[in-house]
Amino acid sequence: MTTTSPWAEHPAAPDPDPDLQAAVTELGAAVRDLLETTVTTTVPAGEQAAVAAGVRGLTARLAAATRGRHTLSALDDLPTFRRTYSPVTGVGNGFAPPVQFRREGDTVVGETVLGLRHEGPPAHCHGGVSALLMDQLLGSAAFLAGRWGMTAHLVLTYHGAVPLQTPLVLTARITETSGRKTVVTGGIALAAEPDRELVSGEAVFVSPRPELLELYFGALTTADGSPAPGHGATDGTAL
């Protein structure tokens, strides 16, 4: 398979600690419920203030040990793009629906249901959240075909409002490949009406030239402090 991923030739990390994976997944789910409930609750002010104090106490417990932005989580792996905290697919990210994408022939498909934490117009998805989903969907289609890249161009058309709390289907396919560039199209539709796209779009993904890879990712380390696969230790001048 032709690949444009700078990490594809590096060995995948071993499977993560199952206890940590389970705990992170459960914490992500609990925070997801919390986020959704904070934007839907109608309990009185005093009760909300009391809950806020409790949440701050829990946050302090988690803050006892944290990582910086140049350190991958212990659950993540670049060669396989295991990304636990993605705002779209990450089981550990409470904002994420989360949605998982899979290949079906030459198409990439994902199903999801959005919540009120994703609201823009009342009862409907925020246009920026649709863009977030589309970026990840189209990027995943490139990745699942072995062609990783960063988003260089993303154009969307909003044909119809995307309802919350309603099953959705996301589909995408590659339309063109050339050198480091991959062009992908796709859309979001109701699961009940998969042929009528509410959002459609096209994106160009470009695997960055080596100088940019070094600038963006040169300082990355794995959770144990080793240089991330594909990157040597740097002087820390990466962005």
* Contact residues for ligand MFK, defined by CB under 6 A: 81, 135-136, 139-140, 143, 150-153, 178-181, 204, 206, 208-209, 212
CB 152 to ligand MFK: min, Å: 4
Mark out the alpha helices in the chain (DSSP H runs). 18-38, 45-62, 127-144, 210-217
Find the residue with minimal CB distance to ligand MFK. 139
CA distance 114 to 32: 11
Whichever of 116 and 206 has its CB closer to ligand MFK, that residue is: 206
User: Which residue lies nearer to ligand MFK by CB, 81 or 95?
Assistant: 81
Q: Which of 176, 169, 165 is nearest to 194 (CA)?
A: 169
3-state secondary structure of 25: helix
Nearest approach in angstroms of CB 83 to ligand MFK is: 7
**Cα(219)–Cα(50) distance, rounded to whole angstroms?**
41
Q: Residues 162, 166, 170, CA angle at the centre, nearest 5°? A: 65
Minimum CB distance to ligand MFK smaller for 124 or for 228: 228
Task: Return the DSSP state at 65.
Answer: S
Min separation Cβ 82 and ligand MFK, Å = 9
For the bound state, the minimum distance from the C-beta of residue 139 to ligand MFK, rounded and expressed in Å, comes to: 3
Task: Give the nearer residue to ligand MFK in terms of CB position, either 124 or 148.
Answer: 148
Region of residue 33 (left: phi > 0; alpha: psi -120 to 50; beta: else) = alpha
Alpha carbons 71 and 146: distance in angstroms, whole number: 24
Smallest distance from ligand MFK to CB 142, Å: 7
Structure tokens at 216: 């963006």
